[in-house]
A and B are shown apart, each in its own frame.
Chain A
Amino acid sequence: MFSRISQLGARLLREAKAETRAGNLLSSRGSLYQGHVSQHLTPVVTPTVQSSRNVLFSTATSGDKDESSQEKEKISVTFVNKDGSEKTISVPIGMSMLEAAHENDIELEGACEGSLACSTCHVIVMDVNDYNKLEDPTDEENDMLDLAFGLTETSRLGCQVIAKPELDGMRLALPAATRNFAVDGYVPKPH
Chain B
Amino acid sequence: MARALRLLSRTVVRLRPLPVQGPTRGFSASVQEPFHVCVVGSGPAGFYTADRMLKGHEGAQVDIIDRLPTPFGLVRSGVAPDHPETKIVVNQFSRVAANGRCSFFGNVTLGRDVSLSELRETYHAVVLAYGAESDRSLGIPGEDLKGIHSAREFVWWYNGHPDMCDLSPDLKNTQSAVVLGQGNVALDVARILLRCKTELATTDIADYALDALCGSTIRKVYLVGRRGPVQAACTAKELREILGLKNVRVCIKEADLATSPADEEEMRSSRIQRRVYELLSKAASAHRDNSCNDQKELHFVFFRRPTRFTPSENGSTVGAVELEKTALKVDEVTRKQVAVGTGEFEDLKCGLVLKSIGYKSLPVQGLPFDKIRGVVPNLRGRVMSSESETATVETGLYVVGWLKRGPTGIVATNLHCAEETVASILEDDRKGVLRAPSDSKKHGRTGLVEILEQKNVHFVPFSGWEKIDSKEKMAGQLRNKPREKITTWDGLQKAANE
Residues of A within 8 A of B268 (CB): 190
From A8, which residue of chain B is reached at the shortest CB distance? Answer: B2
Residues of A within 8 A of B207 (CB): none
Chain B 94-130: CB-based contact to A (< 8 A → 1; otherwise 0) = 0000000000000000000000000000000000000
Q: Does B313 contact A (CB under 8 A)?
A: no
Residues of B within 8 A of A6 (CB): 1-2, 5-6
State which of B294-302, B340-348, B410-418 sits at the interface with chain A.
Answer: B410-418
Residues of A within 8 A of B416 (CB): 149, 177-178, 181, 183
A18 CB → nearest B CB, Å: 12
Q: Does B28 contact A (CB under 8 A)?
A: no
Selected contact of B244 from candidates A24, A149, A151, A178, CB within 8 Å = A24
Residues of B within 8 A of A66 (CB): none
A168 CB → nearest B CB, Å: 24
Q: Does A190 contact B271, Cβ atoms closer than 8 Å?
A: yes
Interface of B is mostly: helix
Q: Does B282 contact A32, Cβ atoms closer than 8 Å?
A: yes
Q: How distant is the Cα of A32 from the Cα of B419 in the complex, in angstroms?
A: 42
Q: How distant is the Cα of A9 from the Cα of B269 in the complex, in angstroms?
A: 40
Residues of B within 8 A of A21 (CB): 244
Q: Does B423 contact A (CB under 8 A)?
A: yes
Q: Does A187 contact B270, Cβ atoms closer than 8 Å?
A: yes
State which of B155-163, B235-243, B253-261, B438-446 sits at the interface with chain A.
Answer: B235-243
Q: Does A120 contact B415, Cβ atoms closer than 8 Å?
A: yes
From A190, which residue of chain B is reached at the shortest CB distance? Answer: B271
Given A112-B86, A117-B88: A147 and B2 within 8 A (CB)?
Answer: no
Residues of A within 8 A of B278 (CB): 28
Q: Does A109 contact B237, Cβ atoms closer than 8 Å?
A: no
Q: Does B24 contact A (CB under 8 A)?
A: no
B278 CB → nearest A CB, Å: 6
Q: Does B275 contact A33, Cβ atoms closer than 8 Å?
A: no
Q: Does A116 contact B (CB under 8 A)?
A: yes
Q: Does A13 contact B2, Cβ atoms closer than 8 Å?
A: yes
- Which residues from 15 to 73 on chain A have a C-beta closer than 8 Å to any C-beta of chain B? 21, 24-26, 28, 32-33
Interface of A is mostly: loop
B240 CB → nearest A CB, Å: 5
Residues of A within 8 A of B6 (CB): 3, 6-7, 10
Q: Does B271 contact A188, Cβ atoms closer than 8 Å?
A: yes
Q: Does B405 contact A (CB under 8 A)?
A: yes
Q: Does B473 contact A (CB under 8 A)?
A: no
Q: Does A177 contact B419, Cβ atoms closer than 8 Å?
A: yes
Q: Does B428 contact A (CB under 8 A)?
A: no
Q: Does A183 contact B236, Cβ atoms closer than 8 Å?
A: no
- Which residues from 1 to 34 on chain B have a C-beta closer than 8 Å to any C-beta of chain A? 1-3, 5-7, 9-10, 13-14, 19
Selected contact of B7 from candidates A113, A142, A177, CB within 8 Å = A113
From B270, which residue of chain A is reached at the shortest CB distance? Answer: A187
Q: Does A99 contact B (CB under 8 A)?
A: yes
Q: Does B389 contact A (CB under 8 A)?
A: no
A159 CB → nearest B CB, Å: 11
Given A105-B19, A183-B413, A190-B269: A32 and B286 within 8 A (CB)?
Answer: yes
B375 CB → nearest A CB, Å: 10
Q: Does A119 contact B (CB under 8 A)?
A: yes
Q: Does A115 contact B (CB under 8 A)?
A: yes
A-B contacts, 5 listed (Cβ < 8 Å): A7-B6, A25-B240, A113-B91, A117-B83, A147-B410
In addition to A7-B6, A25-B241, 16 A-B residue pairs with Cβ atoms within 8 Å of each other are A25-B243, A32-B285, A102-B13, A111-B89, A111-B411, A111-B415, A112-B88, A113-B7, A118-B410, A143-B235, A146-B237, A147-B235, A177-B419, A178-B416, A190-B268, A190-B274
Interface residues of A (CB under 8 A from B): 3, 6-7, 9-10, 13, 21, 24-26, 28, 32-33, 99, 102-103, 105, 109, 111-113, 115-120, 139-140, 142-144, 146-147, 149, 151, 177-178, 181, 183-184, 187-191
Interface residues of B (CB under 8 A from A): 1-3, 5-7, 9-10, 13-14, 19, 83, 85-86, 88-89, 91-92, 235-237, 240-241, 243-244, 268-272, 274-275, 278-279, 282-283, 285-286, 405-406, 408-413, 415-417, 419-420, 423
Closest 5 CB pairs of A and B: A117-B85, A25-B244, A143-B237, A6-B2, A115-B85
